Structures are given as C-alpha cells and as structure tokens.
C-alpha cells in the first residue's frame, strides 16, 4: 500500500494484541500499558504502534507507520500533520480497518490507547473496540481554553482574564488587561497547544497583526515569573485523583513548551500547593465524566503566588519520564500511571490499595534527575546533514542511574540524514538522566548540541 512507509508487524500465537495510535514519541509507554493489561487479565499482551512519523529508523517492536501526506516523499522531507487528521484518515483507511477486523476476529476484543483521545477516531464505536482513555467528547470540551477559564476559575487561582467574542472585543480587552499601561498580555484561541494559536503581546496592534480573523479569544494578564511548573496526574473518578509529581517546564518566547526538568526546584510549600490545585482540577474533571491521565500547567510569580495556566486532558510530554521515575518511587507492585488509567476507564475507580502520589521528601531524595528537550524547527530551509541514532532505550537509562550507574542522554526520534525538515516539525527529542541535577543538565546540553549539529540552514 502506497501510504505505508514502514511495517514490521508480526502476530504470534499466544498473545493478545492492543493498538497504540499516535505519534511515535509515546511508543515507549506501550510497555507500561502492556504490564497493566497483563496484571488485570492474567494473560500475555503485545502492542502494535500505528503512527504517522516518517523516520530513517524506528524503535524495535510491532510498528505500522502510515502517512498519506509524505509517503511518496519518504527519506526527503519530514513534516507533521494534526493528529485529528491522522485519526480520521485511519478510521477510513481499508488497510488499517482490515488490521482491526483481523485482530477482532482472532481475539473477540481490541483495546486501543492514544496519547490524546480524539473524536476523529471513528473506530472507537466499532463493536469489540475499547478505547483506553478519557471520553473524547469530554476531552474536546475541556481542551477549549475559554471553557477552562470560565469553569475552573472557582477551583484554582487564575490571573485576571476575559473571554472575548470577536476580534474587536479581544483588542479592547488587551488594552484593559495591561497593554494600555505598557504591560504585556496573553492572547489565545480556544484550541491551542505548545504555543500554537497563542501569543504574549506587548500592545493591541501586535495582537491585531497576529490574529487577523474573527473568533473567540481568551485574553489574560501576563504575570512576570521565573517558574513554569507542570503537574501530572490521573483521574479515577470525581473523588480519586493520583498526583504523580511536579516538573519545571522550559518555555521559549513566552509560550512555547520545549521540555521539562525534574525534580522541580520550587520550595516544598509551593509544590504542595501545586499538587493540591491539580487534585482539585482532577476532581472537577471527574465530575464531568473524565477518566484518565491529565496534566496542569502553572506559573509561579516572584512572591510565590501560584496561577493556573491550563489543563491538558491527555498524556503530557513528561508521561514517559514520570512512569520511569515512579518505578523507583512507588512500592513494589504498585500500579503505574497507565494501569491507573486502565482501571479508571474500565472500573471507574483505582485498584484497591493504590498508594498516594509521592511527596516532596521522597522525590527530592530519590537521586534520579531527568530533563527533556524537544527541538522544533521554526523556519524553512532547514536540512539534516546526518542522522543521530538512539543509543539505548530511555527506560534502560533510568534503570542504569537508579542502580547507581552513570548518567547520560539519549536522542529520540531523529528524522534522519539528508532530509528537508518542514517548519513546525520536531527534529528530534533529548532525554537526559543523571544522579545529580548538574550532571543531568550537562548531559541534556550535550544531547541538544548533537541535534543542533545535525542540521544546516537553521
């Protein structure tokens, strides 16, 4: 089939297979999902990853890479498409549907998980298919930034904001919330992620140039700050929320997420407040029927005041790293994040005996420091000169450091050599792990340098 750019799917007897549908960046989480399913159903499972990524090399395992946009240009161009479009394409693709039907015929059921559950994935309603994640209709509603600020302002502390119907109202709000006094404001469309469709502006004219079409907008006061913490958790129901921990985000140009570091450098009292706010948001989501992994982003002002920025009703960029960390923080046999999500979706509550999320003292004393960086191409004319290969699985690096071995960094999902990289595309990612923060930051810088050295024209 022309749209298949890579396939090494091999079905073996004795295993039940589940599907991961999404970008290759979450492929490593499959093993945690597998463990959760095996412990629940007492039978062996294996994963099949179905992704749109066009790479020079792929991780080991059952992978089906399908890309109708770049399949004919494989090896020459790297680019991204919205995951909603990919989910819809798969839903209508005969090749993918035949795989689903084959698995259903052999197993009688098929579990599917996604980095973010999407309404566009139409096969979720197919008989025998179970989506291991939050209800996509709830996810779509919560993703609306204007909904978040309207409905969560009574739950968590927020900066001054206005929800504006129309471009003219947005420009007027920019002036009221700070631009008229020389202060900056944040402007966002209802649906925006990782800095897309949002901007920190210094005056209304700048906002007008950036947002030239009518619509609904969120405008909020910009608070100068040093810290951008993110908190990961799981909603079991309207009462049960597991908070995994706090990491510090790397934000560029005011609103572009590029990675995170852990443990957070914030004081214990601030981290406790962040955990409490996140649990409150999780309970609010639970009352809507949300079940599964989510994350909350905040800022911390110089005086220590915490302000909510957004909730992401999906896995976060830190999910893999937190899963690897919790392996060494939680008691033996305790459920990890995907297993908690499976129980939340299938049972509506966490397994009996689920421990509380690790507190500040255990986290700070673990001796596992990690950092990530996403190298996103912003300009045209960028080409790679060589491929940067992944030296070892990220999880193995965590295990090595946890066993008092040396730290280091791995480069993940590099697009390959002699490839034109389109704007908005990730060249690759870096994950660094070390016994100390200083060693981790040095390893992270080394990985970033490897990525930067692999391109020309940036």
Position 238 in a domain: yes
Position 139 in a domain: no
- Quick one: average pLDDT of 204-213? 86
Comparing 191-195, 223-227, 286-290, 349-353, the range with the smallest average pLDDT is 191-195
Position 408 in a domain: yes
Lookup: tokens for 26: 């979450």
**CA pseudo-torsion sign 393, 395, 397, 403:** negative
Nearest in space to 124 (alpha carbons), one of 83, 91, 86: 91
Lookup: tokens for 384: 């790679």
Nearest in space to 310 (alpha carbons), one of 158, 445, 431: 158
Give the number of domains in the chain.
4
pLDDT score recorded for residue 181: 80
237 and 217 in a single domain? The answer is: no
325 and 430 in a single domain? The answer is: no
Q: Residue 244: which H helix or E strand, with range?
A: strand 241-252
56 and 122 in a single domain? The answer is: yes
- What beta strand segments (E) does 42-201 contain? 45-51, 62-66, 77-78, 110-114, 129-131, 161-165, 185-188, 198-201
357 and 229 in a single domain? The answer is: yes
Lookup: tokens for 208: 């007008």
374 and 253 in a single domain? The answer is: no
Lookup: tokens for 38: 């095996």
Q: What's the pLDDT band for 254 if we cut at 50, 70, 90?
A: low
| Domain housing 275 | 225-362
Q: What's the pLDDT band for 359 if we cut at 50, 70, 90?
A: confident
CA dihedral 265, 270, 273, 278 (to 10 degrees): -30
Q: Using one digit for the tens of pLDDT, what is the confidence trace for 393-403?
A: 999 999 999 99
Position 148 in a domain: no
- Quick one: average pLDDT of 55-60? 87
- Quick one: average pLDDT of 41-66? 93
Given 333, 362, 391, the domain boundary residue is: 362
Nearest in space to 50 (alpha carbons), one of 62, 60, 59: 62
Give the CA radius of gyration of the chain.
Answer: 22
* Placement of tokens 């009574």 in the chain: 154
Nearest in space to 113 (alpha carbons), one of 99, 134, 93: 134
46 and 173 in a single domain? The answer is: no
Q: Are 346 and 55 spatial neighbours (Cβ–Cβ below 8 Å)?
A: no
Position 376 in a domain: yes
167 and 281 in a single domain? The answer is: no
41 and 112 in a single domain? The answer is: yes
- Quick one: average pLDDT of 343-362? 91
Phi-psi map region of 317: left, alpha, beta (phi>0 left; psi -120 to 50 alpha): alpha
Given 221, 245, 271, the domain boundary residue is: 221
Give the integer Cα–Cα distance in Å for 395 and 315: 17
Give the integer Cα–Cα distance in Å for 334 and 348: 18
Lookup: tokens for 291: 């079940």
Position 152 in a domain: no
Position 184 in a domain: yes
340 and 375 in a single domain? The answer is: no
- Report how far Cα 4 is from the mean position of its chain's Cα atoms: 25
pLDDT score recorded for residue 357: 87
113 and 201 in a single domain? The answer is: no
378 and 448 in a single domain? The answer is: yes
Given 114, 132, 150, the domain boundary residue is: 132
Q: Using one digit for the tens of pLDDT, what is the confidence trace for 424-435?
A: 899 999 999 999
Position 396 in a domain: yes
Beta bridge partners of 373: 430
Q: What's the pLDDT band for 196 if we cut at 50, 70, 90?
A: low
Phi-psi map region of 257: left, alpha, beta (phi>0 left; psi -120 to 50 alpha): beta
Give the integer Cα–Cα distance in Å for 305 and 439: 30
Q: Are 354 and 242 spatial neighbours (Cβ–Cβ below 8 Å)?
A: yes
CATH number of the domain within which 194 lies: 3.30.1490.20
Kindly tell me if the per-residue pLDDT of 180 is higher than 80: no
Q: Using one digit for the tens of pLDDT, what is the confidence trace for 80-123?
A: 888 999 999 999 998 999 999 999 999 999 999 999 999 999 99
181 and 118 in a single domain? The answer is: no
- What beta strand segments (E) does 52-153 contain? 62-66, 77-78, 110-114, 129-131
């Amino acid at each position: 089939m022309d749209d298949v750019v890579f396939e090494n799917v091999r079905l073996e007897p004795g295993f039940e297979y589940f599907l991961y549908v999404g970008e290759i960046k979450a492929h490593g989480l499959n093993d945690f999902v597998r463990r959760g399913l095996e412990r629940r159903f007492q039978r062996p499972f294996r994963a099949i990853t179905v992704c749109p990524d066009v790479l020079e090399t792929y991780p080991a395992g059952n992978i089906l890479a399908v890309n109708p946009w770049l399949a004919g240009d494989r090896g020459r161009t790297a680019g991204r498409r919205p995951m909603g479009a990919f989910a819809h394409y798969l839903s209508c693709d005969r090749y993918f549907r035949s795989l689903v039907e084959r698995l259903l015929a052999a197993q009688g059921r098929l579990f599917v998980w996604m980095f973010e559950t999407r309404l566009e994935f139409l096969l979720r309603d197919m008989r025998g298919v179970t989506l291991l994640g939050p209800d996509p209709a709830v996810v779509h509603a919560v993703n609306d930034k204007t909904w978040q600020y309207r409905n969560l302002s009574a739950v968590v502390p927020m900066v001054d904001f206005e929800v504006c119907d129309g471009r003219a109202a947005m420009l007027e709000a920019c002036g009221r919330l700070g631009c008229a006094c020389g202060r900056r404001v944040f402007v966002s469309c209802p649906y925006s992620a990782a800095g897309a469709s949002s901007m920190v502006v210094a005056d209304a004219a700048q906002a007008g140039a950036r947002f030239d079409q009518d619509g609904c907008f969120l405008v909020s006061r910009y608070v100068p700050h040093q810290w951008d913490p993110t908190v990961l958790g799981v909603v079991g129901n309207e009462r049960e929320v597991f908070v995994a921990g706090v990491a510090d985000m790397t934000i560029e140009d005011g609103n572009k997420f590029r990675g995170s570091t852990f443990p957070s450098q914030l004081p214990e009292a601030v981290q406790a407040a962040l955990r409490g706010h996140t649990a409150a948001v999780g309970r609010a989501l639970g009352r809507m029927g949300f079940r599964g992994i989510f994350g909350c982003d905040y800022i911390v002002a110089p005086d220590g005041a915490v302000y909510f920025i957004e909730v992401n009703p999906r896995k976060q960029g830190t999910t893999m790293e937190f899963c690897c960390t919790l392996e060494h923080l939680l008691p033996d046999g305790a459920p990890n994040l995907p297993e908690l999500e499976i129980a939340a979706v299938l049972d509506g509550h966490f397994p009996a005996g689920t421990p509380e999320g690790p507190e500040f003292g255990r986290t700070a004393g673990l001796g596992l420091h990690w950092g990530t960086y996403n190298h996103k191409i912003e300009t045209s004319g960028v080409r790679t000169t060589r491929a940067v290969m992944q030296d070892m699985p990220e999880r193995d690096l965590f295990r090595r450091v946890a066993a008092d071995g040396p730290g280091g960094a791995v480069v993940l999902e590099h697009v390959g050599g002699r490839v034109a990289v389109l704007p908005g595309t990730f060249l690759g990612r870096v994950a660094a792990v070390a016994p100390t923060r200083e060693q981790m930051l040095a390893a992270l810088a080394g990985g970033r340098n490897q990525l930067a050295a692999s391109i020309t024209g940036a």
